[in-house]
Amino acid sequence: MFNSYMAAKQAETDFKARFEFAPGLRFEIFFALQALTDGNFRIHREWRERARAKMPAAFWREFQALGGSPVVWAVVSDTLGALPAGADFNSVISGLKNQDISDFQREILYGAIHYRDIVEALLRKELTLAEALSEVPRIKCEWLAFIGLYPYQSGRGMCAALELLLRDPELFRRTAARLIELFWRHSFINDWALLKPRFQRCIDEKKELFKTCSFGEFSKRALLRIEVDEKRRTITAVRGGAELPFEKIARGYFIPSAFNDKRYWTAFEKNGKETVFFPYFEPGLSVLPSLSLHSRFAAAPEPDPYLVFKALGDPTRTAIASLIARAPASSADIASALKLSKPLVSHHVHIMREAGLLTETRSGGRIYLSLDKSALQRLSRLAVEKYFGEDRKKEKEKC
DSSP annotation string for 2-36: HHHHHHHHHHHHHHHTTEEE---HHHHHHHHHHHH
At the top level of CATH, which class does the domain 305-398 belong to?
mainly alpha
What is the mean predicted confidence (pLDDT) over 226-253? 90
Q: Where are the beta strands (DSSP E) in the chain?
A: 19-21, 226-229, 234-237, 243-245, 249-257, 266-270, 273-281, 358-363, 366-371
Quick one: angle between helices 315-326 and 331-338, nearest 10? 120
- What is the domain partition of the chain in residue ranges? 17-213+220-281, 305-398
Q: What are phi and psi of 9, to 5 degrees?
A: -65, -40
Instruction: Report the pLDDT value the prediction gives residue 242, as an integer from 0 to 100.
Output: 83
Closest CA relative to residue 250, chosen from 271, 234, 221, 231: 271
Instruction: Report the pLDDT value the prediction gives residue 34, as an integer from 0 to 100.
Output: 96
Cis peptide before 151 (omega within 30 of 0): yes
Per-residue pLDDT for 277 more than 90? yes
Instruction: Report the pLDDT value the prediction gives residue 1, as an integer from 0 to 100.
Output: 59
Query: For residue 387, with 0-12 CB atoms within 10 Å meaning exposed, 13-18 middle and 19 or more buried, which class applies?
Result: exposed
Q: Which helix (H) or strand (E) holds 205?
A: helix 189-212
Per-residue CA distances from 60 to 53, 69, 148, 192, 345 (Å) = 11, 12, 20, 22, 47
Instruction: Report the pLDDT value the prediction gives residue 40, as an integer from 0 to 100.
Output: 77
More confident residue, 3 or 269: 269
Per-residue pLDDT for 389 more than 80? no
What is the mean predicted confidence (pLDDT) over 182-188? 97
Instruction: Report the pLDDT value the prediction gives residue 49, as an integer from 0 to 100.
Output: 92
Measure the N-to-C terminal CA separation of the chain; round to a whole number of Å: 71
Instruction: Report the pLDDT value the prediction gives residue 2, as an integer from 0 to 100.
Output: 58
Instruction: Report the pLDDT value the prediction gives residue 164, as an integer from 0 to 100.
Output: 97
Instruction: Report the pLDDT value the prediction gives residue 390, as an integer from 0 to 100.
Output: 52
DSSP state, residue 269: E
Instruction: Report the pLDDT value the prediction gives residue 392, as an integer from 0 to 100.
Output: 45
Q: pLDDT tens for residues 103-142?
A: 999 999 999 999 999 999 999 999 999 999 999 998 888 8
Per-residue pLDDT for 235 more than 70? yes
Cα separation of 103 and 91, whole Å? 17
What is the mean predicted confidence (pLDDT) over 57-79? 95
What is the mean predicted confidence (pLDDT) over 366-390? 79
Query: Which of 60-64, 286-290, 394-398 shows the lowest per-residue confidence on average (mean pLDDT)?
Result: 394-398
Instruction: Report the pLDDT value the prediction gives residue 395, as an integer from 0 to 100.
Output: 43
